[in-house]
Structure 1
């Protein structure tokens, strides 16, 4: 299997052209059959089989459309159909086949019986195009067209290949439109081999398409972590493979001997596949919406918003059509076919993709095509001019010297011009680059100038910012980062500056031995000191997948003598290719100068560390204050109060009150391990995620799971965050509570105080499997006049001069004693007792208290 995959990858460009010819030919055949062969005759009524008065089976008209073709012929509900064009109607198949032989606008003679009287009626026959089938053909054709452009721009791109596969499988699945009508006028039913081939094409496309859609929207526009799970991708392809093989065996064993059985099977099978498609489309829509929320820049959001709107319209149109088909009588299809026309709106999805791809340069399409077309036209133009000159010179010299030497003269001229063609072409392309792509032409000069200027820039941050902006603007890369050596761990490098990274706090461990070996090997071989993506597993054995996830392909070490102080990280060039050749030589020269400037800045920085530390503490305090609610939300049935008193050394306490409605509220309290600026940064990140995920769609447990998944890879290994979340619903009178290693929830009533301590570990301690398994969520009834208390350990662990803790028991006594007061008064009582207990002793940790009281 791996060998086949490697061969396909190797010869993808060569295989692409015949594949596209086949698929677009299939689209043409589908369109022809849809408009010419498989259109259903429509006389705008229903023939209903019933027993007549003489107990014989007859066919009676029902749901005759008012002023439709049958109505205009004088036929009404309850009339009996006897003959069509002289053929006695013994079953519905005879009637249908008779009408199939007619073209649109032809008339059929119906012999009709009414109240014992027989009469003939001329009925003009209409032909009904299968709107659903046409919709699938259109979405397949347009998606394939856009996919062909995308994959031609970047044949090796993973997302591009997935996008193209969706278009290809859509076209294959649309083959069902060739088989929807089984009659003597459909030529396919006369050729069993072709019928079987086409049937299996649509089976293959229909089975694999839903899983390709899921796979694509789990990697586009941003990859979901689930796709990196060990068996996710294999499962997405193994399931449809098993289904397809099972269906194949069943068909050859039981179906293909009977065309009637085939038609019946197709009906059920297409229903099954349609269900899979609808489910996958909804999963794709939800995934795209989540990804849209994850996007940071306006440009990224605009590009995906267009697709999201079109996708939503397409899914809604599909759901509408499914509901319509299940809720209206069969006559609606014939009497009001336009009701089904919204299904055509699914074709907006690939159109939106195409628009966003070309307008916003998604998947590196626009600039690649522009370059290819422009340089291609230039090359062809030069070649045409050269051959024209060769022809004119050959003719001129032949007329002078003689025709007997014409062949020799032409050969000599051709050889001479062939020699100079390449250099002329390169100079002409350079001229085009200077004229049409001034950024690309100028970036070499920019890099060279930067190499001289960077050593004059003052301050590490300014150096990093200038380096980042210069490389990004000059090279037009979407991903660029600077990693610097960790001060406390010699083999760890942290992301100090980045553009386009998903994780702004990325850290990687370096295998120092392998890196030294690579440097020596490249030096001995006279190769550039560059770490290619294929070498990532050797140099970054534990973290190479992080770099792959960030789409980093080239890394340049920042080297000072024999020390590596950092790395420059590059994504792909704007053209979609990796850096190579002279580009790398220039980048290495700039990297060496950058390393010198960074080292000088770090030496200076160490001299001013104490001043910076003082500023950091002040900034941390400001950040911490800015994260706290400025006012308390008004929630029906709740009295609310919260307060945080920072310690002398800024800690990591945080609380928030996030209203969902006028009757629902998330109360959040957290504590970041450690102190100072780093703790405040983590608090800021925690608050942002809380505001994002506490939206009413997720439960407290799900919010904690999402945040742990997002924070784990970016938090320092010796850091963690404890959090408690309570969702209070004053309407249902419930408290939904979950805690990630934080202090218990206290609920005080007239009957006493009770602690609630569901299981949970701190955020950032474990990647997810153990965290999610251990995490417990409980639902507690909300009684009238009950007091809900969320607190930090800075309260219970507050010590007096004898190092005695304040303790939970003392806190419960104060809360119970003041239960009849409002939350603000209770808060004052607790803080007064804390001050008395401390009695002048230093406060070593933040004090945070959130009170919510039910008042009905």
Structure 2
């Protein structure tokens, strides 16, 4: 019932409705009814006589083939239903029939008899039809998770149509209203049956792939793609039979075409049915010839032999001979051979587990007998003890049976529990192994994060538990997947860009090799890999997917018993794959965490090295005072400040730089820029020349290094000389308290931006108590909690409120920015330098 609950409702209603119609058709054949011996032609609404059974009332009255029944019981009739109602209510032995023959009306007296229309041939057809339905229903319930257009569901539809065709279309005709409904249902099944037959053998055991040319182009390429991949191909197959029927009947009625009918359908429909059956047999033969191993060949060979035995005589006696000789008397012979088809399928299902249906009838029977024996011991012990006690008169209380039953349960329940375990392990060993495998996997995942151990469990240990010949794991490493071991002709690695890898990632569940055959048309790498897997005997591909990412996939070989992998085992593999994927994900997270910790340790070392290059304090010549601080956005950064050697000893040279880049890359560039500055500062005679030389060293066409720089010279008498190369203008707070920007140089391009550039020097005279703020753009661009930048206006206000001491002024500005950011990670490196001249006016 669990499998039945997962079957689509529409499919169940279709099967139930068809089964009820078939049952009513059989029941109708056993109901007694008045019978005149007249057999109607295919177009029953015309009430045209096709023939008369010898010795019946119609034959004795003189009714002949070709007559048309116009009236019955002195009433005009227009349909078989009206004839049935009149005959059912007629009182008397003879009924007057009004017959139209050769343009003349004749009245004939017909003696009615009572008869049941069932015949041995019909009973055989009905039995064969219900056998078809039983086999199809068993497969459907056994494989409820089959794809919407998978073999199991198409097989069920095919078997149901066979039942309707045999039970409803090939039954003896009567006048009854229900007879018309049943025959119409049979005709509809006749239209859909050949398409379902061909459809099934085109996808069983896997969808067949046809190649019309080595490298098809144009129309051939479109046709090949349509036949192999388009779902509309099967829609066209199903549409052709009803279209043929509609055109034939419409042509006969509207255009006067002269058509011959065979058992209620135009001959053209029967010819098309024959064509479909032949194509289905050819598709089945192609699958047999392309079978991958001996077991599959035995499966396909049994089905092919039974289908040929059943279908070929049907084609001969039901299609070829009737259409050629204008008679359908041979139709009965066709039905006799048809029983071989369901018998062949039933045998293949039981013997070879065809369609992946695991038949456990023998095990289930033995299991039931064993558990029933334990139950019988309960009952016999209880009955015998109760009878003995009553017979001996030991106990007269009416509560004794209840109390004794409780005692027996208390004594035998431990025994039952002890027996139940070995019984389960003996009869359902696979399920016990499955539970054991899941327990082992759970333990492995909780204590192991080693990729090598996970690979070993998913290959060697899984092979042992599921009794597999071999399992190969392909693990993702960058843009390729590498095999855990060599196996036959399987490639050692596979590109992650292949269609096979994308399909496994998207599907996320175990897939049989046959389900992936269509991917061979998409790229050559996938085609060669699938060919190698087929040659090695692979059965399944099991992807390991977690959080939408493919970590690996398993290529599963055959079982040692050469049995097919059951549905329960597929579910086990799915569970193992899911937990294995989680294991690989955990292992990757652990590796990434380890690398992150190592990186943080290395960054901490780099931070120490970088800050060892930046002076902790700047000792300026009195009466100058300087303080600076660098706050990187990451552990290390590209901002720096330094004291440079100056060839003119009367002034002290300071720089504040900002390299384009952050984190490790910015730190490396910062070291290179600092060394270039210090090297050129030894020989430069003025700031403009210094910047030109450094620019030449930093500029590279293939890999440029851009440096924003503020160069300051603290000279005697309070003169401040500076050059700017891409840095914002310094701010000065006068002794009187107002804040203003220092003049910007005319040339201030960042260093390294162009091969040739020039810079000019600005000179400013400071007064005692003036405080200058030099900073990188990370200060004015700092973002608040609302994402807005600080800007120059608020920065001037902050600077205006800063203390006069340079150390305290730097701390005040940095503290405000950190408060303004609200604890958010800094957007850019921030460097601040405060300079004051405390000399006399």
TM-score range, shorter chain: 0.3 to 0.5
What is the TM-score with the length of structure 2 in the denominator? 0.41
* TM value normalised by structure 1: 0.41
